[in-house]
Structure 1
Amino acid sequence: MSKSLATWFTPSLQTISRSAGRSAVAAAAYRACVKLIDQTTGLIHDYTRKRGHVATVLIGASDISELWNRAEAAENRKNSTVARELMLPLPDQWSDNERRACVRDIAQHLRNTYGVAVAGSIHAPNKKHRNNHVHMMFTTRTVDEFGNFGKKTRILDDMKTGEVSRLREAVCKIVNDHAEKLGSDFYVYAGKFVDIDKNHIPTKHIPIQASKDYRNAIEAQNKQVKAHRDAVAAHEKKAEQLEADKMELETELFKAELSNALNLESSESTPAPKAPKTVDVKRVEATPPAELESPLKRKLVPKACEKAYFKRQETLKKQQALKVIEDKWRAKHDELLANKPSSTQRLFSKIGLGTAKIERYDAELSKTEIHLTKIEHNKTLFKKILSDKNALNLIAQYNAVIDHNASISDLEAQAFKAHSEKLERERELAEEQARQLFEPQLDWTADCDPTKEQNYRSKDIELGR
């Protein structure tokens, strides 16, 4: 096929569990190449010297250290699963910004679908400029807009639910949509490539820990496979060309035989008894034109447009609710600042006077500032959702369909009103005709005397009138 097939780095979701001696904080520090302190154990995980990190995309959280320390604190069992990870290939020919945009959409899909917080760490390729990929770490519990951890996402625990397959298919669609928009032939598929290309010949995967000799052997084998692929593709192309040439030759022979038959009929003055007088040519019926869509027909609202519209409405409601919460915390923050302890009070607190009061104040102020920071993060998130151009285009299509159907309803109402008025006029006309038909006619000769009329006529004759 014409697309450049890419394989999954991992065929299924991986979990980060305490039973295997792993830590979400350590895993996040390693993948993001940062220094994190595990507040549960006090261990310091410093990977700032590690190379290969490009960027980290956070969705549902604003601080990577706070996110994974709270994820660890949310679990109280020694064998708890504290995080999940999905590792995905990214196109080598894309730029860092293009890869970052794709990773952000995947992280947002995980957030919207399962309500989890996501940290996507994009890693650079190796020395040969290959193997661009991203580590998608996300929480095993739901995380609300304020960073509070909720229930476990059990739907991703069991392979029997089929949710893992649906997740991989959704992620593949996001990556392929980005590739299509960028004009790239990069293509990922959650299943076997033989399902979409029956002639596909797979190459062998090279493990990371493979030795130099083993790697060279597999690379040589894969080169032979790729060469065989090219040969098969060339043979298929040649076969298609031969088939096209065959069809063209058969068409030319048919035209020649038809022309000879027509010429033979015109040259003979007396046709042979068994010679055909006409050539029977199969009649080809004209294809009827496609039925034009009536402008007075109602349209169905596309699912994507309806989803984008209701998502925007829901986001607007959340934005309004967030405004109420923000006003509350702003008022509390202003009240704390108005009652800020003086330098003298803080000086006395150092020698033990009023220490508890100062500590309570500092704790309340810190808590208020944390909430205001989260509120600002959510405001930025809502603003991004509301300004998404793709969603705005879908909503414009939704409104256009609704307006179209409303105009159809108005036209139907006008037509019904006109039809009712016409029926009313016809009814009145029929009543008028019936009244004229059955109304008694006046006899203007009813009061005349026939004898008098005869006498008048006799006098007229006598007088010569």
Structure 2
Amino acid sequence: MSKSLATWFTPSLQTISRSAGRSAVAAAAYRACVKLIDQTTGLIHDYTRKKGHVETLLIGADDISELWNKAEAAENRKNSTVARELMLPLPDEWTNDERRECVRDIAQHLRNTYGVAVSGSIHAPNKHHRNNHVHMMFTTRAVDEFGQFGKKTRILDDMKTGEVSKLREAICKIVNDHAEKVGSDFYVYSGKFVDIDPTHIPTKHIPIQAGKEYRAAITKQNTQVKIHRANVATHEKKAELLKAELSNASNLKIPESTPAPDVPKSVDMEKVEATPPAELEIPFKRKKIPHACEIAYQKHQDTLKKARDLKVVEEKWKANYDALLAHEPTRTQRLFAKIGLGAEKIERYDLKLAQATKALSAIEHKRTIYKKTLGDNNLLSLVEQYNEIISHNAKISEAEAQIKIAHAAKLERERELKEEQARQSFEPYRDWTVGLDPTKEDNYWSKYIEFGR
């Protein structure tokens, strides 16, 4: 059975780091759609109402809360990388059991190769029954059979080691083995798709922190690429059919015939040669994004994300602060605490209130910094220039796609005309006057031949 290249299989590997304001506990709760308490910060991450979760598999651990709280506790630096995440598309035509077994084998490979603990959360497809995928979070440290965290697995930190490429190859092998087992008609490839299919046109990746305008521009560009892919595939099929027709025609024996002298073999028609696919002229050129604009845009997007995350954290600390004030100890309770009655309870309350006050003060300080950054006129000017260039280039891409489609249609029309000319040139001339006597008036056809009708 002939198998096709699965261009939808584009796995990605990323890190979850404190320097980006992220938490392994929060990420695990979101992906597994559960409620987890971060024992480091005391924050509650409740995603039990989130839809789309199928199941979560644990390899090298028994409890998801314990696993990721230990992962957070194992790191001391404020910019530590606390987890890695592997996002894998899964075949839509497979059953839940078939997808689960494939995910389990990949997680077990991570465990056997790097000694890490893995939690793989399988998510359901969208309303169009597409985009089955799994989020595989795994620790940055080796975890033994007793759940103790060991050394960092730094081999995956550096792309120069080639370990990431080896991991990708291993994952593709596992997926292909499962595809062979269930009888699927596709295969996945760990390298560049253009190595297999020279006509493949890649789409552009949209970062998770991309802004609305940038996301819309790239989505539009990717849509044009997909349309062009379909057009290329259609023309390739037509070319194959044409080759088959020409091959069959060359094998046919043409009967010999003697055309009348000085008689044209076909209708007098000007020969049209097909226009070669030369470089297509486009009235406008792409603009290159200045490095300063890229840095400014990324800084602006990062600040927006941090501001959104800060607002969520602030709401939680504000709720905690309000709850503490609602249960503030009375004056009598404090008097009794001075003589040792209920002193521990008062001390715990004062400590929690001080922590909440300090956290809210730090949040206010960060908000002031973010507001100043987002209001910087120079930064906003560079971001506006960045968005204008992105929009301009998206329009150029759309124009290129339209021009190529029109050019392809023109070549198709020229090919059909040339084919018609070739068919006429092979048709032998037929003399309709043979067997007729023009001197006889009773001959019906002689009248029309005489008057040239």
Distance 1:244 1:174, change over 3 A: farther
- The answer to whether the 8 A contact 2:204-2:218 is kept is no
- The answer to whether the 8 A contact 1:4-1:185 is kept is no
1:237 is aligned, of 237, 240, 249, to 240
Partner Cα separation in structure 1 for residue 10 and residue 48 of structure 2? 25
Map of 1:221-370 to 2, 5 A cutoff?
Answer: 221-238=224-241, 241=244, 245=248, 249=251
- The answer to whether the 8 A contact 1:7-1:189 is kept is no
Distance 1:24 1:217, change over 3 A: closer
Q: Secondary structure at the match of 1:169?
A: helix
- The answer to whether the 8 A contact 1:24-1:68 is kept is yes
Show the counterpart of 1:159: 159
Q: How big is each residue's C-alpha offset from its partner over 1:289-345, in whole Å with a ceiling of 9 and x where there is no partner?
A: xxxxxxxxxxxxxxxxxxxxxxxxxxxxxxxxxxxxxxxxxxxxxxxxxxxxxxxxx
- The answer to whether the 8 A contact 2:35-2:48 is kept is yes
- The answer to whether the 8 A contact 2:3-2:186 is kept is no
- Offset of 1:237 from its aligned partner? 2.5
Q: Secondary structure at the match of 1:120?
A: strand
Q: Secondary structure at the match of 2:177?
A: helix
Amino acid of the residue matched to residue 165 of structure 2? S
Distance 1:149 1:216, change over 3 A: closer
Show the counterpart of 1:57: 57
Partner Cα separation in structure 2 for residue 19 and residue 204 of structure 1? 26
Partner Cα separation in structure 2 for residue 82 and residue 220 of structure 1? 36
Amino acid of the residue matched to residue 106 of structure 2? I
Amino acid of the residue matched to residue 90 of structure 1? L
Distance 1:145 1:220, change over 3 A: closer
Show the counterpart of 1:69: 69
Q: 1:112 aligned to 2:112?
A: yes
Partner Cα separation in structure 1 for residue 45 and residue 80 of structure 2? 20
- The answer to whether the 8 A contact 2:32-2:121 is kept is yes
Partner Cα separation in structure 1 for residue 242 and residue 84 of structure 2? 48
- Offset of 1:220 from its aligned partner? 5.0
Partner Cα separation in structure 2 for residue 127 and residue 50 of structure 1? 15
Show the counterpart of 2:96: 96
- The answer to whether the 8 A contact 2:11-2:89 is kept is no
Show the counterpart of 2:36: 36
Partner Cα separation in structure 1 for residue 219 and residue 116 of structure 2? 42
Q: Secondary structure at the match of 2:145?
A: coil
Q: 1:6 aligned to 2:7?
A: yes
| Seq. identity, % | 72
- Offset of 1:70 from its aligned partner? 1.0
Superposed CA RMSD in Å reads: 2.8
Partner Cα separation in structure 1 for residue 175 and residue 11 of structure 2? 16
- Offset of 1:240 from its aligned partner? 5.3
- Offset of 1:46 from its aligned partner? 0.5
Show the counterpart of 1:22: 22
Partner Cα separation in structure 2 for residue 203 and residue 156 of structure 1? 26
Partner Cα separation in structure 2 for residue 72 and residue 218 of structure 1? 40
Higher relative contact order (CA 8 A, sep 6+): 2
Distance 1:218 1:69, change over 3 A: same
- TM-score, length of structure 2 as denominator length: 0.50
| The structure with more radius of gyration | 1
Map of 1:100-249 to 2, 5 A cutoff?
Answer: 100-203=100-203, 217-218=220-221, 221-238=224-241, 241=244, 245=248, 249=251
Distance 1:57 1:126, change over 3 A: same
Partner Cα separation in structure 1 for residue 223 and residue 133 of structure 2? 24
Distance 1:52 1:9, change over 3 A: farther
Q: Secondary structure at the match of 1:127?
A: coil
- Offset of 1:222 from its aligned partner? 4.3
Q: Secondary structure at the match of 2:6?
A: strand
Partner Cα separation in structure 2 for residue 98 and residue 26 of structure 1? 28
- Offset of 1:179 from its aligned partner? 1.4
Amino acid of the residue matched to residue 183 of structure 1? G
Distance 1:15 1:44, change over 3 A: same
Show the counterpart of 1:422: none
Decide which moves more: 194-203 or 103-112: 194-203
Distance 1:240 1:138, change over 3 A: farther
Partner Cα separation in structure 2 for residue 159 and residue 220 of structure 1? 31
- Offset of 1:3 from its aligned partner? 1.3
- Number of aligned positions between the proteins: 250
- The answer to whether the 8 A contact 1:156-1:163 is kept is yes
Show the counterpart of 2:377: none
- The answer to whether the 8 A contact 1:89-1:132 is kept is yes
- The answer to whether the 8 A contact 1:201-1:229 is kept is no
- Offset of 1:111 from its aligned partner? 0.5
- The answer to whether the 8 A contact 2:201-2:225 is kept is no
- Offset of 1:239 from its aligned partner? 5.6
Amino acid of the residue matched to residue 7 of structure 2? A
Decide which moves more: 44-53 or 232-241: 232-241
Which segments of 5 or more consecutive residues in structure 1 lack a partner in the other structure? 254-465
